[in-house]
Amino acid sequence: MAGRVGVLAVQGDFERHCDSFRRAGAPPVAEVRTPADLDGVDRLVIPGGESTTVGMLLERYGLAAAIRDRVAAGMPVWGTCMGLILLAREVEGRLQPTLGLLDVTVRRNAFGAQVNSFEDEVEVAGVGSPVLGVFIRAPIVTRIGPGVETLARYGGQVVAVRSGAVVGTSFHPELTDDTRLHTWFLGLETAPEK
């Protein structure tokens, strides 16, 4: 059973994730803004938002190092949209600060601008029937390193990946009523796999 779940609350749609976890029956949900906040949680979600801004702020607040240390010690982390970008080791064509916790390359805004946002069904490995994927200036994964598993594709593009307890999705399950992915994330083991 999962302990306290943290949602990175520096910028972006963190409140929606908190709501989804509450609806999924999670234990108390904590907003994480400082390394001390991170100490009080046993798993973390990085929500959608602006990856350039948040990447810089994570370094400035000392959160980047704290998150890297916790993930190295086995803490599960799930990034949605911006969160996936921040977890990636590389961003195509850009030098922007990321956590580098997933050995993948991502392409930002791969489906176009805000006006090209869309929703469609996505089959995610391990979740059963398709989930509704909400894509808002969503990234795709264009390179997958060894040890990284593809969990979902959309239109031939990789839109969900996992490496141990580090998970990234291009889309926003927190903007739907469906809490299956939140429940699934709460079930990920916190112990290191190797």
Residue 99 within binding range of ligand GLN, rule CB under 6 A: no
Looking at residue 9, its amino acid is A
- In DSSP terms, which residues pair with 163 in a beta bridge? 166
Residue 104 within binding range of ligand GLN, rule CB under 6 A: no
> Which entry of 17, 18, 90, 174 is annotated as an active-site residue?
174
Best CA proximity match to 76, nearest among 119, 125, 42: 42
119 catalytic? Reply is no
Q: Which positions from 126 through 145 interact with ligand GLN, judged by CB under 6 A?
A: 136-137
CA 159 to chain CA centroid, Å, is 11
Whichever of 6 and 48 has its CB closer to ligand GLN, that residue is: 48
Among 51, 98, 163, 169, binds ligand GLN (CB under 6 A): 51
- For tokens 């996505």, what's the residue? 122
18 catalytic? Reply is no
CA distance 126 to 120: 18
Residue 49 within binding range of ligand GLN, rule CB under 6 A: yes
Looking at residue 51, its amino acid is S
Residue 108 within binding range of ligand GLN, rule CB under 6 A: yes
Tokens of 176: 């739907």
3-class secondary structure, 51: helix
17 catalytic? Reply is no
Q: List active site positions.
A: 81, 172, 174
Binding site for ligand GLN (CB under 6 A): 48-51, 81-82, 85, 108-109, 136-137
